[in-house]
Amino acid sequence: MLLVSLALVGAPAVALRAFCIGKSCNQDDDTGTTEVPFCPLPADLRAQIVNGYREGRSPDVLAATSSTPIRGWPASPYAVDANRVPLWFFGAGVVAGAIPAGTGVDQIAPTLARAMGFDRAHPEVRSGQPIAGVVRQGVAPRLIVEVVWSDVGGVFPQNRAPWLLGTLEPSGEAASGDATTGSLPVDPAAVLTSIGTGGIPAEHGITGSTIRSKEGGTVPAWSAGAPTSVIATLADDWDHATGERARIGLIAPDVTSQGIVGGTWYLEHDRDDLLFGSREPADAASALIRRGFGADATTDILAIVLQGGVSGMDAQTKALVGSVADLVPDTTFVLTATGSQHSTFENGNTTVAVGSLVQRVEAAVDAPVVSAAVPGGLFLDPSVMAANDITSDDVVRAMDAMTAPDGSALFADAYPGFAISFSRYC
């Protein structure tokens, strides 16, 4: 399949049809035209999926759902709010005002770099650009605190986040309720690395909480056997540029959140303060400040990843911001979210479980071929594929044939990962 995909680069649309990949052999009875896999999806949805895909890291087979949502599978023409997130800058050096709708989380790192007066090398490898007019230049903050709400997207009512949407408003923030993760499917590990690096998953390569290992299996992102980010984080570059005088910290549920600070890019580096597990974020942040964060003129960076309901994270953020601001008044805060892994159509509607999808795929090909199911796609086991003479297109055909409980097509389109590489020809 790899050799075939390489051979298709010169004439992908014709070749995909010739090899009958996915739906590329389907005939339209009225027009006689054929569909190239991935191309039938709406252009804006395709662009988001392209941004979230990197060959060798992403699932082998991907799909966009139709009108019936699959739980945790937001890559759908109908999941319009899945990657919409809030974005707030406030505190030291922030200029109050509105942030333009559609601002990407990959613009956070370059905006913070501007606040620090730091020119990062090789800007061409990152898509993110500074947000104009958000920060004052000339006096760098002593501390930067990035707070990220995990698995939150779309619009939520004020009574679920009274501090964020009420108390914070008069304090001189730059804010938007309509920022974007910039990629699909939304996955906390992928989005946190976009925040940390200033690039999208197609650039940094951390496409989800589960990715291909160096040996070809699947492993948690940022775990010992996982490939690292293709590009450095802002924290990596700043720590290196300051001769490791900068303090870098992370308070997060688990190691898959590490992309917001990195720590693996430079071979020789000091030990960052990485605190994983369940803990009270305000207390943990205060403890790090007492150990030296924000104590001198070299800007330190502290990231906090929160989980749980919106109301609970709102209360935690209120306590955290109050505690840090009291200890280090010269702090620049950023607050955003990773997007929602749950379709906006799930509430009150019939949904399909991912486990059921895997069972149906494996029944169709008569082999336990799925090594991992992740939002938007399936990783396939190459040893099972080889032993049973199964190709990724066999799985695509099985998914294309699936129906929802109401009898409609379950997927708007299913396609092998390499079809995304041909999207420029759509």
Task: List the domains of the chain with CATH numbers.
Answer: 2-77+352-425 (no CATH), 84-337 (3.40.720)
With 80 as the cut, is the pLDDT of residue 345 above it?
no
Tell me, what's the pLDDT at 73?
A: 77
Of 53-57, 214-218, 236-240, 320-324, the range with the lowest mean pLDDT is 214-218
180: nearest Cα among 73, 305, 52, 83: 83
Q: What is the secondary structure of 177-227 as a DSSP string?
A: EEEE-SSSS--HHHHHHHHHHSS-HHHH---SSEEE-TTSSEEETTSTTS-
Q: How confident is the model at residue 213 (pLDDT cuts 50, 70, 90)?
A: confident
With 90 as the cut, is the pLDDT of residue 351 above it?
no
Question: Which of 392 and 354 is assigned the larger pLDDT?
Answer: 392
The proportion of the chain whose per-residue pLDDT surpasses 90, expressed as a percent, equals 65
Task: Give the tokens for residue 311.
Answer: 């109301």
DSSP bridge partners of 88: 175, 335
Q: How confident is the model at residue 28 (pLDDT cuts 50, 70, 90)?
A: very low
Tell me, what's the pLDDT at 136?
A: 93
> Are the beta carbons of 401 and 361 closer than 8 angstroms?
no
Strands 174-180, 97-98: pairing is: parallel
Mean pLDDT to the nearest integer, 1-21: 45
Give the list of residues 6+ apart from residue 56 with CB closer than 8 angstroms, or none: 212
Q: How confident is the model at residue 110 (pLDDT cuts 50, 70, 90)?
A: very high
CA 14 – CA 147 distance, rounded (Å): 47
DSSP bridge partners of 220: 210
With 50 as the cut, is the pLDDT of residue 8 above it?
no
Tell me, what's the pLDDT at 235?
A: 97
What digits encode the pLDDT tens for the residues 156-196?
666 688 888 887 655 678 999 899 999 988 899 999 999 99
> Are the beta carbons of 233 and 109 closer than 8 angstroms?
yes
With 50 as the cut, is the pLDDT of residue 27 above it?
no
Q: How confident is the model at residue 329 (pLDDT cuts 50, 70, 90)?
A: very high
pLDDT, mean over the chain? 87
With 50 as the cut, is the pLDDT of residue 31 above it?
no
CA 321 – CA 136 distance, rounded (Å): 20
CA 219 – CA 225 distance, rounded (Å): 7
Task: Give the tokens for residue 229.
Answer: 């980010």
> Are the beta carbons of 340 and 186 closer than 8 angstroms?
yes
Q: What is the secondary structure of 342-376 as a DSSP string?
A: S-TT-TTS--B-HHHHHHHHHHHHTS--EEEEETT
With 90 as the cut, is the pLDDT of residue 18 above it?
no
How far is residue 313 from each of residues 168, 217, 316, measured CA to CA in Å? 14, 34, 5
Locus of tokens 């890019």: 265
**Phi, psi (degrees; rounded to nearest 5) at 375:** -55, 120
Of 13-27, 111-125, 127-141, 307-321, the range with the lowest mean pLDDT is 13-27
The proportion of the chain whose per-residue pLDDT surpasses 70, expressed as a percent, equals 85
What digits encode the pLDDT tens for the residues 259-305?
999 998 997 777 899 999 988 999 999 999 999 999 999 999 999 99
